[in-house]
Structure 1
Amino acid sequence: MILSVCPPAFAAEVAAAVAQTPFQGVYLDANAISPRHTWQIDELFRRRGGVTVVDGGIVGPPPRREGVTRLYLSGAVASQVEALFTDTFLQPIVLDGPVGQASALKLAFALYNKLTFALAAQSYALAEQHGVGDELRELAGAKLAGTPLGEPAGIVSAGQKAWRWEGEMAEIAAACADGGLPPGLLTAAEALFARWQDYRDDPAVTVEQLLASLKDS
């Protein structure tokens, strides 16, 4: 089995590179890509022969402890792949459906989960612009505790990972457009996360820096 986990923009390139090798077996694509792009990878290997594609969707942080991170699987041999992750920190869950379902579930969850950080950042940037940033922190802490707005320190983690999230927003936008849903919300989030590219994995970045980068010069 080959397990592909990379930034979404490179998923097709990685699959094409594998297709040029003599590899025979199962190709588990666990990237945050749209169902359509997963189908295209499946079709690539169907034409080539000798490889069966399983669709994977990782939900959660890096699996460093049990019960936190899930791996959704779909496709003809998903149940066989499930067995490979027994007794690991990843919790495999097989969906009774074709390639594309695991990706759809992953993106649907990410749409809400990651957009909340974009919305929180935009809210605080607006409040700071008008001198009511501290007041918004107090209000959100009282009314929306446990959310990115109520706990703005979480925006730092989003800023550090925005280099990956930008591409994920593009994939979700494509999935929405393919399904006849408006993609504008996702393209706006993609543009917001693009402004945080310079803070990739930066342990010293602050909320203040991230908010300042949202303001047009």
Structure 2
Amino acid sequence: MTTTVGLLHPGAMGAAVGAVLTARGIPASWLPAGRGPATRRRAEDAGLTEAEDLAGCDVILSICPPAAALDVARSVAGFTGVYLDANAISPEHAKEIERILDGATVADGGIVGPPPRKTGTTRLYLSGPDTAVAQLESLFAGTHLRPVALGGAVGRASALKLAFAAYNKLTFALAAQSHALAERHGVGGELRELAADVLPHTPLGAPGGITSAGRRAWRWEGEMAEIAEACADAGLSPALVAAAGELFGRWREHRDDDGATLDDLLQALVTPPE
């Protein structure tokens, strides 16, 4: 019997995950109500089917900005199938979703890597009830999105995702701050030459990555808030991560702006938006 999947909501990552499923013949639906033309275009390109609700689905995947994860879960309260929250949220928020959807079997997921469009780039870490994890592993086995079962309770996959993201994304914040400081004192070119020679494979030495990060930072700001909360819950200082979130917040005006340059982003750090 074919598993039916519902997807909430097809952003860049969600649509790519949906395409992984439809490519292997697994029906996947989405809810167009209240969504804009860009979302519709992504859904169509991914082969997703429009639906009025997802009540009849066997599995629902939630892939959305972290700040929306709880509201997205509440929007399908009463669902009784397998619900995968695959968002960059704190372990405590993952457990809260488990409480919100007390009639469903909730699994915790952490996607690490870019949208899965080729093999070997992206992993889906899974924790939670064994039956749900096994079903999700089966859905994605052999696809561009590699499932990895961690075992253990809801919250473990989220913790791993956030621990990795803390390091990975803080490096972009640190590199951006360093380049902005150098530019402010007229030694930007010298820093670029030095970093390219000494640290060529880092965001400091290859600042083109900062430009790409700046366009996505509207999502990263919320992710930093989740990481800060997870740090505080673990008895760690949230200050470093909270500061990175504040830095990413200065790039809100460049959300998905393909025309944003490195100079634009560095200037936004020096002069925060009002």
TM-score, normalisation: structure 2: 0.76
Query: Matches of 1:156 and 1:191 in 2, distance apart?
Result: 17
**Unmatched runs of 5 consecutive residues or more in structure 1:** none
Structure 2 unaligned segments of length 5 or more: list them.
1-58
Count of residue pairs brought into register by the alignment: 212
Following the alignment from structure 1 to structure 2, what is the Cα–Cα distance between the partners of residues 79 and 180? 33
C-alpha separation between the residues in 2 aligned to 1:45 and 1:163? 28
Q: Secondary structure, in 3 states, of the residue corresponding to 1:213?
A: helix
Q: Who is 1:15 aligned against? A: 73
Match 2:115 to one of 55, 62, 68: 62
Counterpart residue identity of residue 57, structure 1: G
Determine if the alignment matches structure 1 residue 71 to structure 2 residue 129: no
Letter in 1 for 2:200: A
Q: CA deviation at 1:81?
A: 1.2
Q: What is the letter of the counterpart of residue 27 of structure 1?
A: Y
Secondary structure, aligned partner of 2:190: helix
Q: Look up the match of 2:246.
A: 191
Q: What displacement does 1:80 show?
A: 2.1
| Structure 1 residue ranges (4+ consecutive) displaced by more than 3 angstroms after TM superposition | none
Alpha-carbon distance between aligned partners in 2 of 1:24 and 1:41, rounded to the nearest angstrom: 13
- 1:92-143 deviation digits (Å, cap 9, x = unpaired): 0000211000000000000000000000000000001111101101111111
Q: Which has the higher contact order (CA 8 A, sep 6+)?
A: 1
Q: Which amino acid aligns with 1:107?
A: L
Match of 2:92 in 1: 36
Aligned match for 1:202, one of 249, 257, 263: 257
Give, in whole Å, the separation in 1 of the partners of 2:270 and 2:200: 26
Aligned to 1:5: 63
Alignment of 1:71-150 (within 5 A): 71-76=124-129, 77-150=132-205
Which residue number corresponds to residue 4 of structure 2?
none
In structure 2, what residue type is equivalent to 1:160? R
Name 1:27's counterpart in structure 2. 83
What amino acid maps onto 1:4 in structure 2? S
Q: What is the CA–CA distance in structure 2 between the aligned matches of 1:45 and 1:181, rounded to whole Å?
A: 29
Q: Residue 52 of structure 1: which of 82, 99, 105 is its match? A: 105
Q: Report SS of the residue matched to 2:270.
A: coil
